[in-house]
Structure 1
Amino acid sequence: MDIKQIEALSSVISASAAQLKELQDSLKTTQHSASTARAEFLKPSLEVVAAASQLIALVRTPERYLMDMSTGHQLSSSLRVVVETNVVEILREKGKGPKKALHIKEIGAYNRVNYLKLGRVMRLLATHHVFEEVSPNVFANNTISLAMDTGKSLAQLEAAPEEKYDGSNGIAALVGLFSDETMHNSVGIAEILKSPETTNSFSPFDAPFSIAWPGTRNIKMYDWLNLPENKPRLKRFGMAMNGMNSMTPPDAILRGFNWSSLAPGSIVVDCGGGVGSVSLPIVQTCPQIHLIVQDTGPVVAEAPAFWKANQPEALAQGRVSFQAHNFFEPQPAENTNIAVYLLRMIMHNWPDAECVQILKRVRAACTPNTRIVIVDNIMLYASRDQTVEGADVGAQDPDALAPEPLLANWGAANSLSYKQDINMLSNHNACERTVPEFADLLGPAGFKIVEVHQAHQSWLPQIVAVPI
């Protein structure tokens, strides 16, 4: 046991906690979401989480640490149970006393789940700080469990279960997706990697998803979700993507590329941009820009209603328009002299060959002055040395790495990025990428990296590239 390392990590926790207290006092609020969602809280919060998790790894026996990791799937399974049986909403609506608590017998009576089994599931979650067991077999929501509240009444949930996630922040849907389809897909990773027929394949048809469900051997996950029998899953998937967006501040897209530097009349194309919700702040803060939102026909058909509700002036002034477009096809001929192509959370859904194809379609429509902005997870190496011999990666972000003695990639404080990487492997045979790996994609497509906005205070890392 490395006592010096333990002491160093303890010092990081103490110093960061003091910084958080100072920030909290300045806000005059104890609301968790009101404070830690703010940019200035992010770095000390990451330092506490990274140091605490690294400290746990140091002081636990290796055997117990490994057993905790290998049984982590039970937490996912338990979260799925409480989401799909409406436990959070039951406690919020039917709970009694100051903590709005209920005995597991009462919870089971409302959701018709065997209370003895349900109680064991909830106790595991309470042991991991999701829910509170206020007395034996009596449970209440806490701050963490309430993040899964859809806001629906029990009567609404029973009358229209398919509308459970409608109008919510999407977090419950995201938990449902991760603990259902994505966890199911991940079970097949070992088989896919061990098989000589699939281990070296990067085809979407050889993703672990392909062996996870009946009839999925020759279909991509997105096409499978669009099958009529999977309509509830597709709807949940859409709400889960809203949940992913809700985890970042609405102005996150502005924390990187300098959109205000674009000249009046500049055109920005948001490729695969949904209804344009992520690029909305660009239009709000940069009135000189015209935005074109591209996505599939059914998606962009919903976009005008979104803009009418959220930025009607831009819609009325013609500063935003919409195109039905498949990004594997050539850019529409009318898209000339484009200043920026924005590709947000697209690359990680596709293996390298498909990503190069997407980028080549964009490159063919670029002028020498066009920029592309890729918004995606940028993976850091766990080692302190981040250099890769021969990689031309442009300007690096000096604040991307965690300070010593923390792991350079922020350890468990940044673990969701690495779990997402395995999610992409499980679902699509795709991946999250390091900066050198992005460079390897961009070069063959005719681009080079000129800026990297990777520090965590950017919320969503960005890579800026130019034609070559």
Structure 2
Amino acid sequence: MDIKQIEALSSVISSSVAQLKQLQSSLKTTEHTAATTKAEFLKPSLEVVAAASQLIALVRTPERYLMDMSTAHQLSASLRVVVETHVVEILRDKGKGLKKALSAEEIGAYNHVNHLKLARVLRLLATHHVFDEVTPNVFANNAISNALDTGKSLAELEASPDEKYDGSNGIAALVGIFSDETFHNAVCTADILKDPQTTNSFSPYDAPFALAWPGTRNIAMYDWLNLPENNYRKKRFGMGMHGMNSMTPSDAILRGFDWSSLPPGSIVVDCGGGVGSVSLPIVQTCPQIHLIVQDTAPVVAEGPTFWQANQPQALAQGRVTFQGHNFFEPQPAENKNISVFLLRMIMHNWPDAECIKILKNVRNSCTRDTRIVIVDNIMLFASRSQEIAGQETGTSDPDALAPEPLLANWGVANSLSYKQDLNMLSNHNACERTVPEFASLLSQANFRIVEVHQAHQSWLPQVVAVPI
């Protein structure tokens, strides 16, 4: 047991907690979410989580630590139970007393789940600080479980189960996806990696997803979600993506590339941009920019309604327009003199071959002054060194790494990025990428990196590249 490192990590926790306390005193609210949405809280919060997790790994026996990791699937399984049986909403809607608590038997009477089994599921989650067990077999929501609340009554959920996630913050939908489709897919990862026929394949048709469900051997996951029988999953997926967006501040897209530096008349194309919700702050803060939102025709057809509700002036002035387009096809001929192509959360959905095709289609419409801005997770190596010998990566972000004695990639505090990387592997045979991997990918489409905004303060990491 490395006592010196344990003491160093304890010191990090103490100093970071002191910083959080000082920051908290400036707020009028003690609500947890009020702090986590403020950029200045992010680094000390990450330091506490990273140091505490690293401390646990040092103090626990290796065997016990491994057993905890290997049984973590039970947490995902339990979260799926409570999301799909409306436990959070039942407690909020029907709970009694100051804490609005109910016994497992009372909850089971509402959602028709055996109360003896349900109590065990809820106790595991309460042991991990999701729900409170206020007295034996009696449970209540807490700040963490409340994040799963869709805001609907039990009567509404029973009357329209397929609409459970509509109008919610999307977090419950996201948990539903991760604990259902992605969970099933991940179980087959070892089978795909062990099989000599698939281990070296990066085709979407050889993703672990291909083995996880009946009839999926020759279909990609996105196409599977579009099948009529998967309409519920498709709706949940859409709301889950909204949940992912809700986890970042609305102006996160501005914390990287300097959009205000673009000259008047600049055109920005948001590739695969949905209705343009993520690009909204760019138009709001940079009136000199004209935005083209690209996505499939059915998706962009919903765009004017969104902009009419959120920025009608830009819509009326023609500063935002919509273009039905498949990014695997060449860019429309009318897209000339584009200042920036924005690709947000696009690259991580596709293996390298597909990404290169997307990038080459963009490259063919670039001028010498065009920039591309890729918004995706940028993976850090766990080692202190972030360079690969002999590989040119372009500019890096010096503030991205965690300070000693923490792991350079922020350890467990940043583990969601690495879990998401393996989600992409199990779902699509795709990946999140390191800076060297982005540099290699971009060079194959005749781009080079000129800026990297990787520090956690930017919320949405960005790679900025130029044509070569």
The two structures have a TM-score, normalised by structure 1, of 1.00
Q: Which residue in the other structure is 1:64 paired with?
A: 64
Q: Give the SS at the match of 2:217.
A: coil
Q: Give the SS at the match of 1:367.
A: coil
Q: Which residue in the other structure is 1:151 paired with?
A: 151
Q: Which residue in the other structure is 2:340 paired with?
A: 340
Q: Which residue in the other structure is 2:257 paired with?
A: 257
Deviations 1:138-188 (A, max 9, x none): 100000000000000111000000000000000000000000000000011
Q: Which residue in the other structure is 1:192 paired with?
A: 192
Where structure 2 has 5 or more consecutive residues not aligned to the other structure, the ranges are: none
Structure 2 CA distance for aligned equivalents of residues 58 and 108 of structure 1: 40
Structure 1 CA distance for aligned equivalents of residues 463 and 289 of structure 2: 20
Q: Give the SS at the match of 2:342.
A: strand
Conserved 8 A contact 1:9-1:406: yes
Q: Give the SS at the match of 1:26.
A: coil
Which amino acid in 2 is paired with 1:188? C
Shift of 1:390: 2.1
Deviations 1:431-450 (A, max 9, x none): 00000000010001010000
Which amino acid in 2 is paired with 1:327? F
Shift of 1:393: 1.8
For 1:120-135, what aligned pairs fall within 5 Å after superposition? Answer: 120-135=120-135
Structure 2 CA distance for aligned equivalents of residues 389 and 258 of structure 1: 31
Q: Give the SS at the match of 1:89.
A: helix
Structure 1 CA distance for aligned equivalents of residues 230 and 135 of structure 2: 41
Give the fraction of aligned pairs with identical amino acids, expressed as a percent.
82
Conserved 8 A contact 1:348-1:430: yes
Deviations 1:38-69 (A, max 9, x none): 10000000000000000000000000000000
Q: Which residue in the other structure is 2:457 paired with?
A: 457
Q: Which residue in the other structure is 1:392 paired with?
A: 392
Q: Which residue in the other structure is 1:23 paired with?
A: 23
Q: Which residue in the other structure is 1:415 paired with?
A: 415
User: Is 1:275 the equivalent of 2:275?
Assistant: yes
Aligned length: 468
Q: Which residue in the other structure is 2:326 paired with?
A: 326
Structure 1 CA distance for aligned equivalents of residues 251 and 130 of structure 2: 29
Q: Give the SS at the match of 1:445.
A: coil
Structure 2 CA distance for aligned equivalents of residues 35 and 203 of structure 1: 42
For 1:135-146, what aligned pairs fall within 5 Å after superposition? Answer: 135-146=135-146
Moved over 6 A (4+): none
For 1:201-350, what aligned pairs fall within 5 Å after superposition? Answer: 201-350=201-350
Structure 1 CA distance for aligned equivalents of residues 371 and 81 of structure 2: 46
Give the root-mean-square deviation of aligned CA atoms. 0.5
Shift of 1:397: 0.7
Structure 2 CA distance for aligned equivalents of residues 148 and 451 of structure 1: 37
Q: Which residue in the other structure is 2:44 paired with?
A: 44
Shift of 1:395: 1.6
Structure 1 CA distance for aligned equivalents of residues 37 and 289 of structure 2: 28
Conserved 8 A contact 1:148-1:172: yes
Conserved 8 A contact 1:83-1:172: yes
Where structure 1 has 5 or more consecutive residues not aligned to the other structure, the ranges are: none
Q: Give the SS at the match of 1:18.
A: helix
Q: Which residue in the other structure is 2:78 paired with?
A: 78
Deviations 1:234-291 (A, max 9, x none): 0000000000000000000000000000000000000000000001000000000000
Q: Which residue in the other structure is 1:179 paired with?
A: 179
Shift of 1:11: 0.2
Conserved 8 A contact 1:393-1:450: no
Deviations 1:61-112 (A, max 9, x none): 0000000000000000000000000000000111111111011111000111
The two structures have a TM-score, normalised by structure 2, of 1.00
Deviations 1:292-330 (A, max 9, x none): 000011100111100000110100110000000000000
Structure 2 CA distance for aligned equivalents of residues 66 and 243 of structure 1: 31
User: Is 1:169 the equivalent of 2:169?
Assistant: yes
Which amino acid in 2 is paired with 1:190? A
Q: Which residue in the other structure is 1:373 paired with?
A: 373
Q: Give the SS at the match of 1:122.
A: helix
Shift of 1:357: 0.4
Q: Give the SS at the match of 2:277.
A: coil
Shift of 1:392: 1.9
Q: Give the SS at the match of 1:27.
A: coil
